[in-house]
Amino acid sequence: DFYESNFLNGTWSVAKPLAGKVNTNLNEGAQNISQDGQLLIFTGCNYHEGQGSCDLYFSVRTNNNGWSEPQTLGPVVNSDFWESSPSLSPDKRDLYFASSQAGGLGGRDIWVTHRLPTGKWSRPENLGEAVNTSGDESCPFMHADNQTLYFNSNGHTGYGMTDLFFSKKVNDSSWTMAENLGYPINTIDDEGSLIVAADARTAYYASDKSDSKG
């Protein structure tokens, strides 16, 4: 389930479930909230109306009733395979995500779908060989500049099992060749998702490097 905690006077409040109907008795995870705080896109697994094992869903923040009941992004975006790790562009026009759906270059690739004038989402497009490899790419994060995409990969040349990389958008169909973020961020162990603050001065990321707690 999803929880929230508020940072007040230098401390975090006790976590509580998100208000509304977004949480179910199934699994919700890998969430991404739009910069205006009004749209939540997340991964829901084993929902009865799902296309595959894990699919992408959205919930809208309401004025009085918290987050709305989840709605699927539908069969155009979701497939019989695995969809997860959504990242919404700052203008809410593009949604990046990881999927093992057919037509990719490897096991899991990064794809993008575009919001149409109707409010629906377009058929996903693979980001291509500059980003994706014959291995696995996942955990995309589009920065507030709407140009720099961070992600992890075990297919590009790296230091360990899975490293963190970035690529810059040239245009709607072209990306610069992925660049490794380098040591000491990447190690011989696994690095996972990375989120960069809007001012591009601070980043938070996941790793199982040897000096961790567990």
Q: What is the DSSP string of 113-146?
A: EEB-TTS-BPPPEE--TTT--SSBEEEEEE-TTS
**Would you call 142 exposed, middle or buried from its count of C-beta atoms within 10 A (0-12, 13-18, 19+)?**
buried
Q: What is the pLDDT of residue 47?
A: 86
Name the residue among 200, 148, 208, 214 with its Cα closest to residue 176: 148
List, run by run, the mean pLDDT of 10-residue segments along the chain (214 residues). Answer: 95 96 93 92 88 91 94 93 95 96 93 94 96 97 96 94 96 93 93 93 89 72
pTM of the full structure: 0.92
Q: What is the pLDDT of residue 210?
A: 72
Which pair of structure tokens corresponds to residue 7? 């940072």
Count of beta carbons in the 10 Å neighbourhood of residue 117: 5
| Strand-pair partners of 210 | none
CB contact at 8 A, 203 and 195: yes
Render 26-89 in DSSP notation, one character per residue: SEEEEEEE-TTS-EEEEEEES-TT-SSSEEEEEEEB-SSS-BPPPEE--TTT--SSBEEEEEE-
CB contact at 8 A, 169 and 149: yes
Which pair of structure tokens corresponds to residue 158? 């790296």
